[in-house]
A and B are shown apart, each in its own frame.
With several copies, the nearest count.
Chain A
Amino acid sequence: MSSPTTPSVSVRVLLFASYAERLGREVLELTLPTPATVGQVLREVRALPGGERLPARPLCALNLSHVGPDTPVSGGDEIAILPPLAGG
């Protein structure tokens, strides 16, 4: 339950590899009105300088697991925006 005294959440956003280069940073803190989703985090990041160079639907992770854009986020969550994976 969200309390009326906390209408917003603060989350930590991580950027990697080519995405970090496009935005010129690897980490940022965002505050969003609740209830917030991963998709809303993405929209905020894409509004930043260089953010328009991210794809509309990149891979995302929430607290170390892959998630879709509709996943809700809570205060203190770590959201990662992942360029195309190239391990192996």
Chain B
Amino acid sequence: MSFLTELPIDLAELVAEVTAPEHGGIATFLGTVRNHHGGRGVLRLEYSAYIPMAEAECARIAAEAAARWSVAVALRHRIGRLEVGDAAVAIAVASAHRDEAFVGCRYAIEEVKRRVPIWKQEFYSDGTVAWVDPTRGEESGIAEGAGHGGWARG
């Protein structure tokens, strides 16, 4: 099972992967492409990855959560071109009780954002393109995008 996929993500499939008769709670998180970022309209985006490391890092995150909270974890991140509303990442965490499911799910998405080598190019309604840098905050993100007009496509 790959953690990265170029195909649309089906949350029900992830839920099915972690469903088991001994589990009472399944927490999920679905990250979708928003139509705005830093005050600008987003038309679509492109995710790219350092694929073998991203796969390894996702596997480590899933294993860590599974071991720490005795949960079952399913995790998928989409790469390639995505449109507004598409699911970029989905996580499903099942456990006997809901506490562990929620905490494990939250852990997984935070670690995905913190550790998995994936990058995102946003294509804006004003015709510009920018690499998203979450470490700089949304305002700086705008500045970087604006300051690198050379990256604009189309």
Contact = CB atoms under 8 A, between A and B. Distances in A.
A9 to B, nearest CB: 21
B24 to A, nearest CB: 10
Contact of A87 (B52, B56, B113): B113
Contacts of A65: 53, 56
A84 B116 contact: no
A14 B89 CA distance: 25
Given A84-B136, A87-B47, A16 B119 contact: yes
A80 to B, nearest CB: 6
Interface string A55-88: 0000001001110000000000000101111111
Interface string B20-58: 000000000001000000000000000111101110110
Contacts of B120: 86-87
Nearest to A59: B117
A86 B49 CA distance: 10
A47 interface: no
Interface in B99-124: 109, 112-121
A14 B120 CA distance: 17
A28 interface: no
A87 B49 contact: yes
Contact of B133 (A83, A87, A88): A83
Pick the most buried of A16, A17, A85: most chain B CB atoms within 10 A of its CB.
A85
A1 to B, nearest CB: 29
B131 A87 contact: no
Contacts of A61: 50, 53, 117
Contacts of A83: 119, 131, 133
30 contacts: A14-B50, A16-B50, A16-B117, A16-B119, A17-B48, A21-B151, A61-B50, A61-B53, A64-B52, A64-B53, A64-B56, A66-B115, A80-B50, A80-B53, A82-B50, A84-B134, A84-B135, A85-B113, A85-B114, A85-B115, A85-B116, A86-B119, A86-B120, A87-B49, A87-B54, A87-B88, A87-B89, A87-B112, A87-B116, A88-B112
Interface of B: 31, 47-50, 52-54, 56-57, 77, 88-89, 109, 112-121, 131-136, 151
